[in-house]
Amino acid sequence: MFPERLRALRKGQKITLAELATALNQQFPVAPEHQNTASQIGNWERGVRTPSYLEVQKLARFFNVTMDYITGLAENSQSDLGRLFISGKELTFNQQLLTGQDRYEIYQLIEGYLHGKEQRHVSHDQDIQLDLGLADRNGEK
């Protein structure tokens, strides 16, 4: 499960093995003889080698997922956006860094949306699909 998850996470970020190795080495500096390499990560993705606990931890932190998720112990990786927005983690959206003010405003927008959602009463799921353009007027998807 780990090799498939690692490959999916890397390809989802649209980065090469070499780019991932470089990024890991920059984010988690170690002695030159212990730096990550593209071939090492490729071996992990093919299941030829198994990374150490510390390497799995680095990968999980890099991809912002839990170790349980990347190793296949959990089916999905959940993050509470509220906690994420108030955390000290650097956040980006479409590769643009979010400032503290951006984070606050986005948090307020989401909170307002969810509060407003509680006030709305939608009678039928098809109404939502029509509003989103997911179904035509005859109810076909």
Residues 65 and 9 in one domain: yes
Residues 16 and 67 in one domain: yes
CA separation for the pair 19, 15 (Å, rounded): 6
Q: What is the mean pLDDT of residues 73-97?
A: 77
Helix (H) or strand (E) segment spanning residue 96: strand 96-97
- Provide the whole-model pTM: 0.54
Residues 122 and 85 in one domain: yes
State how many domains the chain has.
2
Q: How confident is the model at residue 123 (pLDDT cuts 50, 70, 90)?
A: very low
Range of the domain at 99: 81-132
Cβ contacts of residue 118 below 8 Å, gap of 6+?
Answer: none
Q: What is the mean pLDDT of residues 129-136?
A: 58
Q: Are 24 and 80 in contact (CB under 8 A)?
A: no
Residues 89 and 59 in one domain: no
Percent pLDDT > 90 in the chain is 44
Q: What is the mean pLDDT of residues 29-51?
A: 94
